[in-house]
Amino acid sequence: MVPVSALPELTVRAPAKINLHLGVGCPRPDGYHPLVTVYQAIGLYDDVWVAGHSSWEVDVRLASYIRDTEIPRPGDNLVDKAAELLAAHHGCQRLGSVMIDKAIPVAGGMAGGSADAAAALVALDRLWDLRTPDNVLLALAARLGSDIPFALVGGTALGTGRGEQVEQVSDQGTWWWVVVPAEEGLSTPEVYRHFDLLFPDAPADPAPAYGVLTALASGDPARLAAAMHNDLEAAALDLRPDLSDLIAEGEEIGALRGMVSGSGPSCVFLCASGDHAREVAAGLTDRGCPVILVANGPVAGAHVVELT
């Protein structure tokens, strides 16, 4: 066994995702909903630092705008589960010290927990020197959660199945986003259940993503704005009616398009450029939004940023 002091220390950074297209079908026999989605990774990140240790410990530091009541209990978060699954797959012990620096809104529809799990898989694979092939890491990620494979690959990708099957798509733009996190999160299963209530006749095959795919290949923000689509938006807005006003305000200020991100309640606003995004962010601040983030995409999936 390698002594703890000889192990590396490293930090892996993983991005938030937004769904530019989210087509949702009626529930499958296993309870999951079939999806046709277009993910984009944007420049809003969680960092996961790992180091050798004689036991297993996980700590979390939160950005100022994240409330600590929203964080899962120790032992019950996706990083613990990712570590357990990776260690079990290789028959090794789960030992290490982990620090998660969270900046992605929690329970916000931006896959923050999934980003942490993806970062942990990459970081622990390196810490434990396991050299897991990419296809195996992707399969482990899919077992942990539907959008964790995307957090590994990043960029802009088409997601099918329950969202876990991902393939990169042509994306000719650098897209600018204003992100408005909500003060209180929404539970993803609750939003899906509400979708089932509102749309009992949802088709088995989700809406295709041709409009968004064509817009991405054109690089034209106005075309992307017109094509963006989210089948979960009606359910999220029904659970949080105040978000409709926020979206209307952002568009009034000049955003090309505002939309709920995934299952919500974070909202994203597409802007024409970095300067335009900063203008829209300033306008929303003037109207009383306490937290506004600006990010662009696409960006890389989980990757090592520091290794000693």
Total number of residues binding ligand C5P (CB under 6 A)?
10
Report, in angstroms and rounded to the nearest whole number, the Rg of the chain calculated over CA atoms.
19
Q: How far is the CB of 99 from ligand C5P (least distance, A)?
A: 23
Q: Which x/- pattern, by CB under 6 A, does the window 35-74 give for ligand C5P?
A: x---------------------------------------
Q: How far is the CB of 146 from ligand C5P (least distance, A)?
A: 3
Q: Which x/- pattern, by CB under 6 A, does the window 146-175 give for ligand C5P?
A: x---------------xx------------
Residues 6+ apart with CB under 8 A from 154: 15, 41, 298, 299, 300, 301, 302, 303
Distance CA 272, CA 74 (A): 41
Contact flag: residue 230 with ligand C5P (CB under 6 A)? no
Distances (CA, A) of 87 to 81, 98, 148, 259: 10, 15, 17, 39
Active site (annotated) includes residue 59: no
Q: Residue 32 or residue 199: which is nearer to ligand C5P going by CB?
A: 32
Q: Which of residues 181-210 bind ligand C5P (CB under 6 A)?
A: 188-189, 192
Active site (annotated) includes residue 147: yes
Stretch that binds ligand C5P, among 4-12, 27-35, 91-99, 225-233 (CB under 6 A): 27-35
Q: Residue 196 or residue 251: which is nearer to ligand C5P going by CB?
A: 196
Residues 6+ apart with CB under 8 A from 184: 265
Distance CA 224, CA 215 (A): 5
Residue 20: name the closest of 241, 269, 274 by CA. 269
Distance CA 14, CA 260 (A): 21
- Stretch (H or E) spanning 96: strand 96-102
Q: Which x/- pattern, by CB under 6 A, does the window 247-286 give for ligand C5P?
A: ----------------------------------------
DSSP string, 245-268: HHHHHHHHHT-SEEEE-TTSS-EE
Interface residue list for ligand C5P (CB under 6 A)? 32-33, 35, 145-146, 162-163, 188-189, 192
User: Looking at the annotation, which residues are catalytic?
Assistant: 17, 147
